[in-house]
Amino acid sequence: MTEKDELYMQRAFQLAEYGRGSVSPNPMVGCVLVAEGQIIGEGWHRKYGGPHAEVEAVRDASRRGFEHLLPKATAYVTLEPCAHFGKTPPCAKLLVEKKIHRAVVANDDPNPLVSGRGYALMQEAGIEVHRGLLAEKGYELNSRFFTFFTEKRPYIILKWAETANGFIAAAGGRPVQISGPASSQMVHRWRSEEDAILVGRQTAQTDNPALNVRHWTGQNPVRVVLDRQLNLPNSLAIFDKTQPTICYNYMHTTDSAIFPERYAEFPEISFVKIQPGEDELHQVLNDLYARKIQSVLVEGGAQILQAFLQAGLWNEIRRCQSPLTLPLGVVAPVIHGATLKYTEFLAQDIWTYYIPNHQTT
Ligand code: AOF
Ligand code: ZN
């Protein structure tokens, strides 16, 4: 593998990134076709249900009048080309049909429908296949997709804002605006990037959050609330039916909403029964997994954040510390088992990012 190979793969990753926010539950994938020392076609998976990266790249090559060079081409693909008939025909087959000469891939596809079979299809047809180039970068890019298939649960991001003296709400849980406007906007961008957003009963009640994307453009996540005794009033913003919503509780089940068709025109509220017990979070996560929800942003409050932390059920912490102080209040979650990734300043706020001790990306 040469430096040039790495460069083209970097480009493929750049393209893959354009799919962020529009492809879930599919991975972000990019593809670059190179022949005679030049890029002849580029593509990425743009939208869930749409053509895969390889199809886009081959189309691009044709559009540019380079179809005849495909038999000399190397395909740089960030994920093992698929081998199944899903929403689109298999990409590995397309590369074979186009007589691509060589394929360089970053990550193996963990999807059991594909895993290994994409390589097999290409190798049987005589395509020279290289695997694992810049694999780490791929795991980071598609951390949600990989976590979903390997851990069989969504990727979990814990997020909160605390005062300089460590409170996330005022005394009695009374909400206070802790982070500044720049941070709020960033959080809205984050909401648009994840499949679901989760809060506990107390937060739903006292903050009455809409849990939608307002200060950014993008898709609204599925709202998830834990209301064990089902005593939240239906006048709350989260029950306004403008967004698909799942309410986990001990009492009642409806099967009204069919997820992940979650961007349907008339989303419903789905009530899902869980059993009281220590594994409640696992029950919730198992259900989200069954609904193909690959990532969840946990936005509080302190109790629910602490529960995820204690259970070791998280992949990222994003903590905001503002310059504000409060005389009394609800104490912020205690972080443990975490490695600091980096810190950044956003206007007056300090954001600190952590990953679990044994996680590499
Ligand atoms: C590729 N190239 O660009 C992507 C792939 O329902 P479908 O047909 O869209 O298939 C989804 C699966 O295909 C997804 O779970 C993953 O395994 C693979 N994604 N494969 O060759 C792509 N997005
Ligand atoms: Zn494909």
Closest ligand to 12 CA? 1
The whole-number average pLDDT for the span 147-169 is: 97
Q: Is 54 annotated in the active site?
A: yes
Q: How remote is the C-alpha of 101 from its chain's centroid?
A: 33
State the distance from the centre of ligand 2 to the C-alpha of 86, rounded, in angstroms. Answer: 8
Q: Does the pLDDT of residue 74 top 70, yes or no?
A: yes
Model pTM? 0.88
Q: Residue type for 289, please?
A: Y
Q: Are 168 and 332 in contact (CB under 8 A)?
A: yes
Q: What is the mean pLDDT of the chain?
A: 93
State the CB neighbour count (10 A cutoff) for residue 59: 14
Nearest ligand 1 atom to the CA of 145 is 15
Query: Is domain 3-146 classified as CATH 3.40.140.10?
Result: yes
The reply to whether 52 sits in an annotated binding site is: yes
Token readout for 204 is 């739903």
113 pLDDT band, cuts 50/70/90, is confident
DSSP assignments along 273-313, one per residue: E--SSTTHHHHHHHHHHHTT--EEEE---HHHHHHHHHTT-
Name the strand (E) or helix (H) holding 6. helix 3-17
Q: Which residues does ligand 1 sit against, CB inside 6 Å? A: 26-27, 29, 45, 52-54, 79, 81-82, 86-88, 91, 109, 111, 114
HEC sequence for 167-228: EEECHHHCCCCCCCHHHHHHHHHHHHHCCEEEEEHHHHHHHCCCCCCCCCCCCCCEEEEECC
State the distance from the centre of ligand 2 to the C-alpha of 53, rounded, in angstroms. Answer: 7
Domain 152-356 -> CATH class:
alpha beta
Nearest ligand 1 atom to the CA of 45 is 3
The reply to whether 299 sits in an annotated binding site is: yes
Alpha-carbon distance of 85 to 329, in angstroms, equals 55
266 pLDDT band, cuts 50/70/90, is low
Q: Does the pLDDT of residue 256 top 70, yes or no?
A: no
Is the ipTM above a cut-off of 0.85?
Answer: yes
pLDDT in tens, 166-220: 999 999 888 899 999 999 999 999 999 899 999 999 999 999 999 999 999 988 9
- To test the ligand 1 pocket, which listed residue (79, 80, 82, 88) has its Cβ within 8 A of the most ligand atoms? 82
Alpha-carbon distance of 46 to 30, in angstroms, equals 9
- Single out the catalytic residue among 54, 56, 193, 194: 54
Nearest ligand 1 atom to the CA of 56 is 3
Domain boundaries, the chain: 3-146, 152-356
DSSP assignments along 46-87, one per residue: -STTS--HHHHHHHHHHHTT-GGGGGGPEEEEEE----S-SS
Q: Does the pLDDT of residue 143 top 60, yes or no?
A: yes
Return the ∠ at Cα 55 (arms to 54 and 60), rounded to 5°: 95
Residue 271's beta-bridge partner residues? 247
Res 290: pLDDT: 93
Closest ligand to 31 CA? 1
Place of tokens 């059920």: 313
The reply to whether 301 sits in an annotated binding site is: yes
The reply to whether 352 sits in an annotated binding site is: no
Alpha-carbon distance of 227 to 214, in angstroms, equals 25
- To test the ligand 1 pocket, which listed residue (52, 80, 109) has its Cβ within 8 A of the most ligand atoms? 52
